[in-house]
Chain A
């Protein structure tokens, strides 16, 4: 049971380049989330998705793009990377039934992104 995976685990890129972080879950969870983790800020929500083809902004969406053509995948794209986007990125998923919000969010192992 693979659960939730992220790739790559480590990425170094240059300012201005486009980079895509991948997230894949095997549970068929309806909800998926992208967070960034920065010292002193905890985790902040970038984007989330309630189902395939349904996405919404979180707390810090600027500079990021997401898509969800399949339930199991939720890629995060930095269209033109900036140094301020150097961070650790976590993907998470949760199951939801009829709007219930008691579900646990399950996190991937994270992607450490460095923008030079």
Chain B
């Protein structure tokens, strides 16, 4: 079975500061990795995903995540956050060949002006 741990339930940062949201996973088989974002009162949207190839993946709005197999991590980073990045972020894994996603507990990112 797979499991996901998001190490911080809440992360407050100032606008234009860098941020890192941490995600560690556990799996005995190969997995795909995802970050989803949930803006207030909305459903989840895919932010980025790692399937194969380059271990660094990027989103269109400046986020990036790096797959680290040896540390079983998939941390999400942004060099300079904006007020509009205020949301809850979920890390998720899926076993290769399966359809079910396993989610972490979520990290609430709060941007202060």
Q: Assess whether B97 is in contact with A99, with CB atoms less than 8 Å apart.
A: yes
Q: Which residues of A contact B104 (CB under 8 A)?
A: 42
A59 to chain B, nearest CB (A): 8
Q: Assess whether A104 is in contact with B49, with CB atoms less than 8 Å apart.
A: yes
Which residues of chain A from 4 to 61 have a CB within 8 Å of any chain B CB?
31, 33, 35, 40-45, 48, 50, 58
B99 within 8 A of A: yes
A42 to B4, CA, bound (A): 10
Residues of A participating in the B interface, judged by any CB pair closer than 8 Å: 31, 33, 35, 40-45, 48, 50, 58, 90, 92, 94, 96, 99, 101-110
Apart from A33-B101, A96-B99: 11 A-B pairs, beta carbons within 8 A: A40-B105, A42-B6, A43-B103, A44-B103, A45-B100, A45-B101, A45-B102, A48-B99, A94-B99, A101-B97, A109-B43
